[in-house]
């Protein structure tokens, strides 16, 4: 039981750090955004997280955000949590690079580990087109999602109890 409580505290601390980082970058965080995690029942030790990677490949910061998206997904998955990784916005560039069988990305080994762990992966259809990677993703048979105005539905995941982590 103590281990379950410790996991709950660690998850809250992780999410709190991500929310604080977002607020420092000027991203408004509504008060109710933290509510679902705070009110969750973690007695079974598992939570649900949707990690949204919006950072592109053009900068060192984008690389750091991608690394942390994969790191958080891997750690949460290892601790028995349900994890969805959503490639959105410029993040669709990472989906294209990592789906390339001949790609030499430094992130590919970490990405392959979380894929093998059974993580759900979603690529935004609209953003793949906007960032000029849709054709290559389609050629590689990477599924793209267009549930809400051409984008993946975020409400669908929140309605299922997923906490959102945006990087």
- Read off the pLDDT of residues 71-128 as tens digits, 9 standing for 90 and up: 999 999 999 999 999 999 999 999 999 999 988 889 999 999 988 988 899 999 999 9
**For the residues 9-14, what does the mean pLDDT come to?**
54
Pairing of strands 48-53, 163-166: parallel
pTM of the model: 0.74
pLDDT value at 164 more than 80:
yes
CA distance 15 to 36: 11
CA distance 116 to 126: 26
Fold of 2-166: Hypothetical Protein Ychn; Chain: A, (3.40.1260)
Summarize pLDDT for 42-80 with one digit per residue, the tens: 545 579 999 999 999 999 999 999 999 999 999 999 999
Cα 27 to chain centroid, rounded: 17
User: 60-78 vs 108-116: helix axis angle to the nearest 10?
Assistant: 30
Phi/psi of residue 48, nearest 5 degrees: -130, 130
Asked if 10 and 46 count as a contact pair (C-beta separation under 8 A), the reply is no
Tokens representing residue 15 in the block: 């999410």
Query: Is the sign of the CA dihedral 126, 130, 33, 16 positive or negative?
Result: positive
List the beta bridge partners of residue 165.
51
Greatest mean pLDDT among 31-35, 40-44, 105-109, 144-148: 144-148
Helices (H), the chain: 2-24, 35-38, 60-78, 92-99, 108-116, 125-130, 134-139, 154-159
């Amino acid at each position: 039981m103590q281990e379950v409580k410790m996991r709950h505290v660690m998850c809250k601390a992780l999410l709190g750090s991500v929310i604080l980082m977002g607020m420092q970058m000027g991203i408004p965080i509504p008060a109710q955004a933290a509510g679902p995690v705070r009110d969750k029942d973690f007695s079974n030790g598992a939570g649900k997280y949707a990690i949204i990677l919006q950072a592109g490949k053009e900068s060192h910061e984008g690389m750091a955000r991608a690394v942390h998206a994969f790191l958080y997904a891997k750690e949460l998955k290892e601790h028995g949590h349900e994890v969805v990784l959503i490639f959105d916005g410029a993040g669709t560039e990472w989906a294209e690079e990592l789906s390339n069988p001949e790609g030499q990305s430094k992130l590919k080994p970490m990405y392959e580990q979380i894929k093998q762990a059974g993580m759900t992966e979603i690529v935004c259809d609209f953003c793949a087109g906007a960032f000029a990677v849709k054709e290559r993703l389609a050629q590689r048979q990477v599924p793209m999602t267009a549930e809400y105005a051409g984008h993946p539905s975020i409400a669908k995941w929140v309605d299922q109890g997923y906490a959102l982590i945006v990087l």
